[in-house]
Structures are given as structure tokens and as C-alpha cells.
Amino acid sequence: MAAADTPLLMLNAPLVASRLGYPDLSGLDLLELFAFVHPARFMVPTPKGLARALGLEEPSGDDKVPQLLQEAAEALLATCESADWAEREGAWTALQSLVRMSWPWATLLTPRIRKPDRAERWLFAKLPEWEEAAERPQPAQVVLGEAAVVSRLAELTGAGAEARPTQQDYAREASRMFAPRQGQGQPHVVLAQAGTGTGKTFGYLAPSSLWAEQSGGTVWVSTYTKALQRQLRRESRRAFPASRNGKPPVVVRKGRENYLCLLNLEDALQGGFAGRAAILAQLVARWAAYSQDGDMIGGDLPGWLGTLFRKRGIAALTDQRGECVYAGCPHYRKCFIERAARASADAELVIANHALVMVNAARGRDAAQRPTRIVFDEGHHVFEAADSTFSAALTGAETIELRRWVIGPEGKSRGRRRGLSARLADVASYDEEGERAISQAREAAEALPSEGWLARVVEGTPSGPLEELLSAARALAYARDESGGQEAGYGLETEIAQLDGGFIEVAGRAQEALEALRKPLVRLGLRLEAIVEDGPDWLDGPARARIEGARSAIGWRSDLIAGWIALLARLGGPGDPDFVDWIAVERSDGREWDVGLHRHYLDPMKPFANAVLAPSHGVMMTSATLRDGDDWQSAVERSGAPHLDIAPRLFTADSPFDYASQAEVLIVTDVPKGDIPALAAAYGRLIEASGGGALGLFTAIRRLRAVYGRIADRLARGGLPLFAQHVDPIDTGTLVDIFRDDPRASLLGTDALRDGVDVPGDSLRLVVMEQVPWPKPSILHRARRLAGGGSAYDDRIIRARLAQAFGRLIRSAGDKGHFVVLSSAFPSRLLSAFPAGTPIRRVTLDVALQSVGASVSGRESAQTPREGIS
Ligand code: SF4
């Protein structure tokens, strides 16, 4: 009632709303004000974080927070009046729009922001243009001297740092990947297991920076998590100068769906977004003018900004659906995506993720963009990334996307999305053959699913050959699935086998329809190639760039369709042992959202070896958990090297940490499996015993939510805040920032937290796993299990997961903590997952609570006393 009457001063309204169970809460949210006053500035969205960001005194307790919020509001408003406000430019103009939108802060800001004497530069005028650069020559063949590598390492770690022999060995080993290649398709492959604390980042940055400097080439470092990407960006500053010849030598490269699309933003600012979304667009425009690289997801746009506005505002401002019109776009020369792509061709170090490296290697637009020296950090994830990159999914969502790409907007749909014929109008008017191909492709695309396909498929009234296929596939999944998902509301799946004649016939018609689309696309691709070679008068720079862009898009879409055709062609015949094919109905909470046929390689490292390894000259895969215990075999198989008959170099550096005294593994044997009240009680008591600082890991979202719902309130009342992925309306990166910032906070999460969390120090002192992390018994898993040695395969996966989760606990030499698994039947053969020397005990919950509590009181008696810990 208070909130409805007067606008309340709040910090993170959606979070407050979700805690109160009052979804419509709104008011004066300080996070919005902060985003306006200091765009592109990092802040942990908590009272403490706010105080720190503004140089105010941190509140000593919850009762001091209301006072802080008022001081913070005044400090932010006062900044707008000060002469040295760094982010003043553009504020007045943005505010005028925000006043019209009745943004709650606008009336308070208006008297504080004076009208500038001269008209402010509009965002699109302010951003710098990228420049075309000359092509780079190929890198020189150099051999790195060991002494030079070690002395570069010493420069990076700093003169005062103690020389670490293991790190030096690691750096020397990493330098081997840069040796000149001796045979075509035979890169140097190094697999390096480096225990936590080895200092592997500098270990490989030392030879990488040396090689890039001496050879004039580019090294790609690929990570799986955004957290490591951020860390690398920070640490690479020591290894590379801020600028060389006026260009940044280090570039972070992500998939295009991460960056702001200026054309989408312009649409949004000019009326494309309404209500709260329009306010978001204004705040994003403020940020874009100050952003380092326009990266909206994990870059310098605060991760919390999008969640303040619910809905999918941020995603709608990126180029999610490949709508880019390249040189046809008025902002092409200022486009963040184009800038990042060009900068990476010139860079000495490109920081990217596994998926992007694989996509670039497999279908890079030009040779300069193709990585040839690659360090895969978090190398234990290369297999998973290859698995999704080199798979095919013939689903409703994928096929309707293809239809939209070919045909463009239909019916009432809005937006600037244009079809092939509009994008290539000049080609059509110049080249008859090209025009014919475009119109044939357009006609053939009519066979693809269209708006409303899912409802028709569910109701059994499909329209067109592809919808008919999806309908038949869905019916089969419902008929055959025995996973238990039907009752629980999860996804359904069934293998593609024992199909009847009717299904094969439907699949045959779908295959013909796809062939009819692929053929004109291939012809069109060839015509475009010929036109670029002919170079007619109208083909100026921008037109050429647009046609090149279209050619590459047509190229990979033809390959995509070819993959689908191959999948359908196999249906009636004998299975291909290289692939695992299945039908899936994707559902969450009982609601269907996609249906289709899937094909994965049984061993995705086979295409990885051909597309990524073979063209490379040197590749290193490194991680703290590459091997299985002491065994290298599965790591070697999972590197892809055997497919090229390469025996990789193997290197191990043990962690310098003293696990015997820093950590303890407790296997709690008396919490019955499947008993949610008992599970929740165990979590609650463990978190209380450790006074927070706990990371709780779950294998199922459902159980995570159930546990959270039972304990969050009680813990919060005791001064132990609990946050949870899939519950709190906050992105995962920000949740980890909040957790890191408050030693009394705890965090519950699923897979992404198992190895994406780097929290050294006191904030993380307890990791609790709800059970043994068994792999999900999917059809794909069953096939790989069969090929990989049955239960031994499962054990390897579980040990890897345990090792990754355990790795969160001890991040620095001073860390101490407990790793608890709630499992009444934890098999002994899995114990080798933990580092040698780590004490392991099987205990009851009561004993575990005593151990956890005792170590907390030990720590506390060494520090200052704390209140309220049971
Ligand atoms: S070039 Fe493409 S991605 Fe860049 S702003 Fe224009 S439409 Fe968006």
C-alpha cells in the first residue's frame, strides 16, 4: 500500500518485488539512476556495492540501509550539478526524452542538469568509425628461446614475485605449441593439466605475447565462461601494451548476438519500444556512448540493467536473428560488431569463447579471421562446445528462422527485417540468373513452417511438408518416450529407429522441399561470387561488402540445409555409426516450445579435428581438470588429436596448495535421497553452521527451487542472505558478484556455477552438492556410454564434475573450506576426483555440522567475533 501511494526509494525493485511476492512494485530505483548518471561503470547492486561505487560509508547493518539510499540518491543527483561529471555529454538530451516517458527520476533530475550551451552530439555522431586496414602478411616462422619465455614470465608476474618453478615449466611447455609446423594438417598439440594456483594464465600469456611480437601473428585464447574472459582481459594488460601503432593489441571477440546493434537501438529510440522498454533504450543509448566495445552481455553494460526492465529488451537490441544488413546499414562504419571483427584481424591476442573459435575456424569469412594458434583454457569444455557446434537440429524454431531469412516479414510482423530479394535487389536487377535463383528460393521457402506452426503441430493440423514432419515426429515422441518426462512436464525424446512407412514418406516430402530450397541458394551463391569477380560499375565498396556478407550467409545456410537433408536421407536406411539421431519435444513446466529431429556426432572431436585442429599450427588445451585422476587416456581422446594421428605432448603441474590442511571433503550419509524436506533442512543447517559463504550446487532446477523456497526466509531473518539462480531476477554474473562481495551471503545454482565461479578468500568457504552428479540419461548419453565403456564412462563424467565443483573451494593459498556431498551411497571409486591428500570422511549430518561450525569458530576466534551463528 505504501508503495502504491508514494514512489518509494529502492535498490533493485524487481528483486525487492520478488522477495515480497508483490510483482508490480515500482518506484525510484537507484540502479536506474546510477545507470543514467554513470553508464558503463561497474557496480555490485547491493547497498554495500552502491556505497563503494559512490565513495560513501558502507552501512554497518540493515537498519542503516534506508539512510544510505537517501545519501546515495543525493550524491548521484549532486553529481549531475558538478562541473567534473565525466558522463555529462548526452545526458540533457536523453533526459528530455525520459521526461516525456514519465521516468520517475526525470522530474528530480530536470532542475539538476543544465541545458548545454551547444547542441550535444548525438550518439551516432559521437561513436568513432572503424577503418579498413591492409591485409596482414602471414606470421614469420620463429622459435621461442626458453630463456626468453622465462624472462617474459618474470616481467608479467612482477619483479617482487617469487619465482615459481612449476609455472616456469608450464610456460616453457606452452611455448612448444608455437614451434614451426612440420607437416600439413599436423599442428603441435599440447595438453596441459595445471592444478589451481599454478598461475596458468601468465604461464601461457608469456609465450603467446612473445610469439605474437616476434612473428607478427595472432594468438587466440578461448574460454568457456565469461568470468574467465573478464579475468583474461584484466591480466592481458600486463602482457601487452594498451596500444601498438595506434591499435589495441588485445581484442575480446564474442558472437554477434552479444553486441549492441545500433540500427536496432535507433529503431527502439524512434518509437520501436514502448513503455518501460523505451526507458531501457534510453539508458542503453547513454551506455553505448561510453562503452568500450558495445558488448551487452558480460561486457561493460551492467548485467543487472536488463533485469530491471523484465521482458527481453536487451536481446531485442542485439542482432539475435541475423537481421544485419551490413553495408546497407547507415551505422555500418560505426557498428560495434564490425569493429570487433576488424580489430581481431589486426590483434596480437584475441580473447574468445570455444563456440566462436570453432565457428570461425569452420566457416570464417576470410583467412585472416581464422585462428591458427589457439589456447583453449577451460579445455575440459572443448568436447561439449564441439558437440553443440557440429550438430544439426531440424526443428520448428530453426526452420521458421530460415523462412524469415529468405522471405522477410509476412503478415502483421513488424521490424526492419528484410528478405533475400529486398537485400539483393540490385543483384536481381543486374543479373537474370541471380534473379531467378532468388525467386525460386523464395517460392521454395513457402514450404517451411510459418507463424503459428507450434499450435498447428500440437493440434494435428500441420500445413506444408515440414510442419507435417514435425507433427509426425511429435506424435512419435509421445508414443514412445519412456523417460518419465511426460508426467513431470519435462522434455520428451525418442531415438530415430524402427520408423514406419508413413513416417518415411512424410520425411521424404520434407527432404524434397529442402532440396528445392537448397539448390537455388547454392546457385545464387555462385552468381554472387561471379558478380564480385566481374566487378560491374555499380559494385562500389559498400555494395561489395554487402554481397560478400550475403554470400557467406548463403554459404552457411546451404550447409545447414545440407545437414538436414543428410539427416532425413538416413531415416529409412541403416543407421550411421558416426551419428546419434533422435526426436525431441522441448518443454519446460509442461509447456512445449520446440519440436524436431536432432543429429549429433557420436564423437564430435572428429569434425573438430578436421575443422579446427588440421588447419591450425599450434593448439594447447589446458585446465585444472583435464585428466581423469592420473589417467590421460580420455583427455587425449577428447582432444581430437588421435583423429589426425597426432600424439599430443602431455604436461602436468600439481597445485601448490596444501589440500590436507586447507580442505576437507565430508560425505553426509544420512540425508535420504529424494526427501526434499530433509534436503532443505540439511542445506539450511549447513549454511547456518558456516555463517553463510556457501555455494549450493544442484543437478535439477526443480529441487533447487524447492530447497530455496523452504529455507531462504529463515536464513534471511538470521542475517544470512540467500540468492539463487533460476529464482532471483538477476543474471548469473551479477549473482556471483553479490556473493563474492558479502561473506555472509550464500548462493544456490546449477551447472553454470560448477565451474564458472572464481571466488578466492573468505566469501566461499563451503560447497554443498545435493547428490552425486549423475549424467542425465538422455539418448545421446546412452549412445556415448555404450561406445565409451559403460559405467566407466559415467564414472569419468561424475569425477570430472566433482573435481570442477571442488575446484571452486580453494582458489588461493590462504583459502580454507569444506566440500560436502549429500549422498548415502557415494561409491568409493569416485573419490579419486579429489586432489591427492585431501582428507575425506563419511559422516552423519550432525558430525558434518560440527566440523563446519568448528572451523568457522576457529576462523572467527582468529578474527573478530560475529553474531547470530548457530
Ligand atoms: S551493421 Fe548490422 S549489426 Fe551493425 S548496426 Fe548495422 S544492422 Fe546492426
Residue 496 CB-density burial (10 A; 0-12 exposed, 13-18 middle, 19+ buried): buried
Any atom of ligand 1 within 6 Å of the Cβ of 263: yes
Does residue 868 have a pLDDT over 50?
Answer: no
- Nearest Cα residue to 635 out of 381, 327, 256: 381
Q: Provide the grid cell at 840.
A: 575425506
pLDDT score for 866: 36
Question: Which protein residue's CA is at the shortest distance from atom 2 of ligand 1?
Answer: 324
766 in helix, strand or coil?
strand
pLDDT score for 180: 96
Name the CATH superfamily for 659-858. Answer: P-loop containing nucleotide triphosphate hydrolases (3.40.50.300)
Distance of CA 315 from the midpoint of ligand 1 (Å): 14
The CATH code for residues 146-253+345-372+615-653 is 3.40.50.300
Q: What is the DSSP string of 339-359?
A: HHHHHHHH-SEEEEEHHHHHH
Instruction: Quote the CA–CA distance of 112 and 110 in Å, as a whole number.
Output: 5
* CA–CA distances in Å: residue 626 to residues 194, 597, 606, 666, 821: 8, 32, 19, 24, 22
pLDDT score for 573: 82
Look at 281-295, 549-563, 852-866 and tell me which has the smallest mean pLDDT.
852-866
pLDDT score for 325: 72
Look at 98-107, 312-321, 506-515, 527-536 and tell me which has the smallest mean pLDDT.
312-321
Mean pLDDT of 768-780: 93
113 in helix, strand or coil?
coil
Distance of CA 648 from the midpoint of ligand 1 (Å): 42
Does residue 256 have a pLDDT over 90?
Answer: no
Backbone angles phi, psi at 359, to 5 degrees: -65, -45
Q: What H or E segment, with its residue span, contains residue 621?
A: strand 618-623
Mean pLDDT of 489-515: 93
pLDDT score for 870: 28
Any atom of ligand 1 within 6 Å of the Cβ of 265: no
- Tell me which residue has cell 614451426: 180
Residue 581 CB-density burial (10 A; 0-12 exposed, 13-18 middle, 19+ buried): buried
- Nearest Cα residue to 494 out of 512, 513, 472, 510: 472
pLDDT score for 367: 64
Any atom of ligand 1 within 6 Å of the Cβ of 701: no
Structure confidence by residue, pLDDT tens digits, 738-753: 999 999 999 999 877 8
* Shortest-distance atom of ligand 1 to CA 332: 1
Mean pLDDT of 112-118: 91
Distance of CA 93 from the midpoint of ligand 1 (Å): 24
- Higher model confidence: residue 507 or residue 6? 507
Q: Position 41: which residue type?
A: R
Distance of CA 324 from the midpoint of ligand 1 (Å): 5
Q: Position 430: which residue type?
A: Y
Instruction: Quote the CA–CA distance of 406 and 446 in Å, as a whole number.
Output: 9
Does residue 161 have a pLDDT over 70?
Answer: no
Which region holds residue 158: left if phi is over 0, alpha if psi is between -120 and 50, else beta?
left
Distance of CA 219 from the midpoint of ligand 1 (Å): 27
Beta bridge partners of 110: none
* Shortest-distance atom of ligand 1 to CA 327: 1
Structural domain boundaries in the chain = 2-120+260-316, 146-253+345-372+615-653, 392-601, 659-858
* Shortest-distance atom of ligand 1 to CA 261: 8
Contact 712, 659 (CB under 8 A): no
Across the chain, which distance is largest between two alpha carbons, in Å?
84
Q: Fold match between 146-253+345-372+615-653 and 659-858? A: yes
pLDDT score for 217: 94
- Nearest Cα residue to 250 out of 282, 293, 290: 293
Q: Position 407: which residue type?
A: I
b/e code 612-625 from CB counts within 10 Å (16+ = b): bbbbbbbbbbbbbb
pLDDT score for 864: 39
Backbone angles phi, psi at 446, to 5 degrees: -60, -20
Average pLDDT in the chain: 90
pLDDT score for 527: 92
Look at 226-235, 458-467, 494-503 and tell me which has the smallest mean pLDDT.
226-235
Distance of CA 261 from the midpoint of ligand 1 (Å): 5
For the chain, how many residues are written? 870
Q: How confident is the model at residue 160 (pLDDT cuts 50, 70, 90)?
A: low
Mention every residue, 6+ apart, whose C-beta is less than 8 A from residue 479.
Answer: 494
- Nearest Cα residue to 736 out of 778, 777, 764, 699: 764
pLDDT score for 348: 94
